[in-house]
Structure 1
Amino acid sequence: MSKAPARKMFNGIEASGPFPVEYRFSHAKSGNRHLVVVFANFSAPEDYGWCNGVFDNVRANILWIRDRFDGMNAYYLCRNMDFGLADSVQTLIANVTRSLGLTADQVTLWGGSKGGSAALYFGLRYGYRNIVAIVPQFLVGDALERRHPKVSAYMLGEGAPAHNARFLDALLPDLVRARANSAANIYVLSSPQDEHYAVQVEPFLGMFQGYDNFNFLYSESPTITGHATVTRRNVPALVGLLNLLADGYAPRLGFVRHAAEEFDRETSDIDAYLSATSKVQGADAFAPPVVTAPDYNGEAPATGLRFAGTARGAVRVSMWENGKFVASPEVAADGSWSWAPAKPWATGKHLVKIFAVDPAGFHSSRVEVPFTVVDRPAPAGPTPPVVDVPVPGQQVGPSVALHGNAPGAVQVGFRENGVPLGAVAVAQDGGWGWDPGWAWPEGPHLVEVVAVDAVGGRSAPATAAFTVMYVQEPAGHLAPGY
């Protein structure tokens, strides 16, 4: 039997809360009316758990949530004990549930290890119907102190105070003692071969006696050699359980009803949510980067190749070729970025795709840069020009002239957002001045200034960053700003 095709993924960021939360989403199959929310363990690639195709045949909608905040894991709970992080995660789950037209009774929370702890926390606290927690840790603070010092510092705060760790230790036990969401269908999997079992799981099992449908899956096998292998040993049974839950069956004694299926259900709400929170934003929301080097469809040297450009509002750009990551240079305060590979590039044609990334993690649309690498060194070229006027960040009126010097150059050229604006000759003493003769549009501007020598060699660009302001005179006439 051939393998089922991979599920189509939508990537997005829920940024309405205090912490941006990255996610992946895949629509249900066969009209299934259920949502599975997946939390990651520490070893999950890119901090997305169970996103390697193991859920390809699961019939439900699936929401994978990334446990990556400021470059660090957080058990989906807190940073410096600020639980606004957990609130942001819950906002994402609630918004997707609502956009699908579902209720908390049609949601399964799923996770392993720290993801299992998160599934228990959000399931018990917010009333989701089904919870599958695979080798969870009930004492989160203890787990941090013993095994994860960097995550401990991130979650507990400076110095990782012990009293903060004890606060996290009490989160899950306190919810269970309070019988939070006691009607939930809860499935906890662990094994005596799990090194966490004796401290992190076994002491808490009796606390679930007041729950309507608590199930402990006890897995013991000579093939289980530790914490990580408990999950791998039970993957087929776990995925089978997930499809039962997605179809409305919670294994228990008594009557169960098959979940409804709607093959032609209206999807405009979830489509609108996925579009609004899509990681890739349209050009009108977040401008793609401008690439000034190498030249579009131009030639570039194998040794001395350099990429450069501008990306306003971004913190970095991401470069890819043939689906493989190339580099991610940071964007300077003036909007400029550049990157030079450490090794020569292969000669021949190349097509590099580049997008910008803003502080929240949203992506701009991609720009494609086709060029040909040739086997010759890069020309030395002149040094970049110096821009004296306007000074960086200066507020000016609409009639802006640029001045500076470029020793060794015969000409300097000007461009903005990749569009040539003009050029001017350089005096014998290296000085130059350029007055375009037009009124600049109001707002911020970033003009690139490139020096050209007598043999046509071009320098790396310098930048002139300024803001044009108009002042309203009492009589209603527009006057230059200051």
Structure 2
Amino acid sequence: MPKAASKGRELIQGIDTSGAYPVEYRFSHAKGGNRHLVVVFANFAVTDDYGWSNGVFDPVRANILWIRDKFHGMNSYYLCKDMDFALEQSVAGVITKVMKALDLTPDDVTMWGGSKGGSAALFFGLRYGFRNIVSLVPQFLVGTYVQKVHPKVARFMLGEGVPQENVRIVDSIIPDLVRSNASRHTNIYLLSSPQDEQFPEQVEPFLALFQGYDNFNFIYSESPFITGHAQVTRRNVPFLMGLVNMLADGLPPRLGMVRNGYEEPDRDRSAIDAYLSANSRDKGTDIPPPVVLHPLPHTRTPRDGVYFSGTAMGAVRVSLWERGKFLGSPSVAPDGTWSWKLSKPWSKGEHRVKCVAWDAAGGHTKGVEVAFTTEDAAAAVVVPGMQVPTGAQSVAPGVHGQPAGAPVVRAPEAYEQLMGAAVQFAGFAPGASRVGFRAGGTLLGGSPVAADGRWTWDSGWPWQEGMHTVEVFAVDVNGMESPAALVPFAVLPVAAGASHFGY
């Protein structure tokens, strides 16, 4: 990807095919010559199956290796497919190669992850003897968890029919490592909370197993503002970023002699550059660059009114970047259309966002940049060189040619609690040609609108237990998009009657 601006980090993408399973990764060089490596594992339901890739690691001084949990199109806890643990060995091989290319040892490496990624951080850290582990709200009983909460992942990992014997085997992997005092000198930082609904089954019964470890730290986060599994980590991000910088500087919070000033700014980077170059995914493609239809170049728009839409013929997804920082990666619909919206208001001022189209083989186009300015209030569209026809009305940005209002959603109702994983949407959008559905900036699908304005949509996949918020928007015959209607709802387990907010 292009070199980042001063405030961002340059991200280098690659795929290592030397093992039984191809492993996709992103890498960012350390700041100021820091001599440490942080390996980041992904949680569930994150964009592109890379965890912590939203810029939160920008202040971290260490080298950072993000590993994608996407194997044959599925998540795997970085462990296995059909109980084939060659997948785990392929991941470990990539970590080892990057570590050696940086001329580091396991004592210079931190395993990092939350939820699913937290389990992976514990497993790889203990099994392969890495010096530091930061594990945030992990699951210890991985087999039981995927069997109950992520049945597709369970079938992928444990085999068709999810044999109970395989559930027990995968359940035992992490607890048995801890019981054996594997890597007992590792610095372990485990974060959990009584507000995490997974805590009683997935964490609390296993804490006593760490008594034999030299430096086990349990960060017990209790707050009335924590409402579930996903919020535990979010409430602790400032502390966690400070912790990882201490580990990168060779200062693990512990008693005794510690090392400080762990930098070599002029160190030879040829070995790691050679590894990254050999596995680079910066390869071209025959598909055309993406077309950005919105926002129009050099327009002014409210901070909370920015959305992106366009076409990318022949592509499977589009990635968006600003100053080297990854923003999102919406899928491309079969008709070539795509759309994306940031989940929070943009910062005020000028922005330049680069859009890149990707084909199914991992090749990508050159970036198409769109510049726009955000303000606290709506302003007139200003496009240099654009001719406005005589008699045309001036309009506010983001509403030119759009349907008058958001579609009406009849089902599910706002904050409705649905029993089971099947969710059907229905409503009205008079004057629109179709409606679209987004979650977290990713396009989920679309549905045509009947002549009387009625529409229905079923995703075709089971929805994960927990809270969801879906944006429903209408599109007119000219392809212009309406404001979105927000539909929050909860999916409850049929048997237990209580939801899992796993992420």
> Which bracket does the TM-score occupy, shorter chain normalised?
0.5 to 0.7
> Amino acid of the residue matched to residue 130 of structure 1?
N
TM-score (norm 2): 0.60
In structure 1, what is the equivalent of residue 273 of structure 2? 271
Q: Following TM superposition, by how much is the alpha carbon of 1:186 offset from its aligned partner in structure 2, in angstroms?
A: 0.4
> Amino acid of the residue matched to residue 238 of structure 1?
L
Q: Following TM superposition, by how much is the alpha carbon of 1:225 offset from its aligned partner in structure 2, in angstroms?
A: 0.7
Question: Aligned equivalents of 2:174 and 2:320: distance in 1?
Answer: 45
In structure 2, what is the equivalent of residue 14 of structure 1? 16
In structure 2, what is the equivalent of residue 232 of structure 1? 234
2:165 alignment partner, SS class:
helix
Question: Aligned equivalents of 1:257 and 1:352: distance in 2?
Answer: 43
In structure 2, what is the equivalent of residue 175 of structure 1? 177
CA contact 2:78–2:88 (8 Å) conserved in 1: yes
In structure 2, what is the equivalent of residue 162 of structure 1? 164
CA spacing shift, 1:156–1:260, aligned 2, 3 Å: same
CA spacing shift, 1:185–1:259, aligned 2, 3 Å: farther
1:24 alignment partner, SS class:
strand
Task: Report which of the two structures shows the higher radius of gyration computed on alpha carbons.
Answer: 1
CA contact 1:179–1:210 (8 Å) conserved in 2: yes
CA contact 2:133–2:187 (8 Å) conserved in 1: yes
Q: Which runs of 5+ in 2 are unaligned?
A: 289-310, 322-327, 339-353, 369-503
In structure 2, what is the equivalent of residue 45 of structure 1? 47
In structure 1, what is the equivalent of residue 286 of structure 2? 289
Question: Aligned equivalents of 1:128 and 1:137: distance in 2?
Answer: 20
> Amino acid of the residue matched to residue 202 of structure 2?
Q
Question: Aligned equivalents of 1:117 and 1:145: distance in 2?
Answer: 16
CA spacing shift, 1:150–1:32, aligned 2, 3 Å: same
In structure 2, what is the equivalent of residue 448 of structure 1? none
Q: 1:123 aligned to 101, 122, 125, which one?
A: 125
In structure 2, what is the equivalent of residue 255 of structure 1? 257
Q: Following TM superposition, by how much is the alpha carbon of 1:43 offset from its aligned partner in structure 2, in angstroms?
A: 2.7
Aligned length: 322
Deviations 1:121-148 (A, max 9, x none): 0000000000000001111011111211
Q: Following TM superposition, by how much is the alpha carbon of 1:233 offset from its aligned partner in structure 2, in angstroms?
A: 0.6
1:116 alignment partner, SS class:
helix
Deviations 1:253-290 (A, max 9, x none): 111111521111111111111111111237xxxxx437
In structure 1, what is the equivalent of residue 382 of structure 2? none
In structure 1, what is the equivalent of residue 110 of structure 2? 108
CA spacing shift, 1:206–1:63, aligned 2, 3 Å: same
> Amino acid of the residue matched to residue 100 of structure 1?
L
Q: What RMSD over aligned residues (CA atoms) do the two structures have, in Å?
A: 2.9
1:45-124 map, 5 Å: 45-124=47-126
Question: Aligned equivalents of 2:337 and 2:259: distance in 1?
Answer: 62
> Amino acid of the residue matched to residue 84 of structure 2?
D
Q: Following TM superposition, by how much is the alpha carbon of 1:168 offset from its aligned partner in structure 2, in angstroms?
A: 0.5
CA spacing shift, 1:342–1:225, aligned 2, 3 Å: closer
CA contact 2:317–2:359 (8 Å) conserved in 1: no
CA contact 1:307–1:340 (8 Å) conserved in 2: no
Deviations 1:437-468 (A, max 9, x none): xxxxxxxxxxxxxxxxxxxxxxxxxxxxxxxx
Q: Which runs of 5+ in 1 are unaligned?
A: 283-287, 292-305, 309-315, 330-338, 344-350, 369-482
2:242 alignment partner, SS class:
helix
Report sequence identity in percent: 58
TM-score (norm 1): 0.62
> Amino acid of the residue matched to residue 86 of structure 2?
G
In structure 2, what is the equivalent of residue 135 of structure 1? 137
CA spacing shift, 1:365–1:268, aligned 2, 3 Å: farther
2:39 alignment partner, SS class:
strand
CA contact 1:355–1:363 (8 Å) conserved in 2: yes
CA spacing shift, 1:259–1:159, aligned 2, 3 Å: farther
Question: Aligned equivalents of 1:322 and 1:210: distance in 2?
Answer: 46
> Amino acid of the residue matched to residue 26 of structure 1?
S
> Amino acid of the residue matched to residue 64 of structure 1?
W
Q: Following TM superposition, by how much is the alpha carbon of 1:71 offset from its aligned partner in structure 2, in angstroms?
A: 1.5
CA spacing shift, 1:340–1:101, aligned 2, 3 Å: same
Whose RCO is larger (CA < 8 A, sep 6+)? 2
1:22 alignment partner, SS class:
strand
> Amino acid of the residue matched to residue 209 of structure 1?
Q
> Amino acid of the residue matched to residue 170 of structure 1?
S
